[in-house]
Amino acid sequence: MDTDLPITLTTKGLFEANDKNSQFLISKLEAWLNFKALGANWYGDESLVVNMNFTILPEHQFLDLQVDSDKNWIPINLPGLTAIYNHDMSKQSFICMIMFSNDELNVAMKDSAQVENTFQLKLAACANVLATYYHLPAI
């Protein structure tokens, strides 16, 4: 396996640029998600390592998102999860945009301790949807 992590995470428009606390949170969540995938044996076959690139956006940016029209973007609408993703089968990879709703943002502003848990729930749910393409177990 390459030295790059198979699952990456970024955010846009949620945190101030160069905020060390948010950078630490994103790194922690990325490590957590890769560890959960490792624990579910997603990386057992190195020829079938699936790459997932997640970006979490606030609701207004998500709804205004301009995506490449040449790619097939597929929506995910589950309780607590609104996202779109593109699957590149030739590279065994996904690009996924996840919405952080205004209600979730309001809760986060009142109780920052809920942010990490909310992100974990969204990321795991989204990763599990994508993992079904390769018959990987849920994390």
For the chain, give the mean pLDDT: 90
- pLDDT tens-digit series, residues 51-103: 999 999 999 999 998 887 778 999 999 999 999 999 999 999 999 999 999 99
Alpha-carbon gap, residue 97 to 81, rounded angstroms: 11
Q: Cα(31)–Cα(25) distance, rounded to whole angstroms?
A: 10
- Alpha carbons 24 and 39: distance in angstroms, whole number: 22
Cβ–Cβ < 8 Å for 34, 5? yes
Q: What are 75's strand-pairing partners?
A: 84
User: pLDDT for 24-44, tens place per residue?
Assistant: 999 999 999 999 999 999 998
Which pLDDT tens digit goes with each residue over 6-30? 999 999 988 877 778 889 999 999 9
| Amino acid code (one letter) for 75 | P
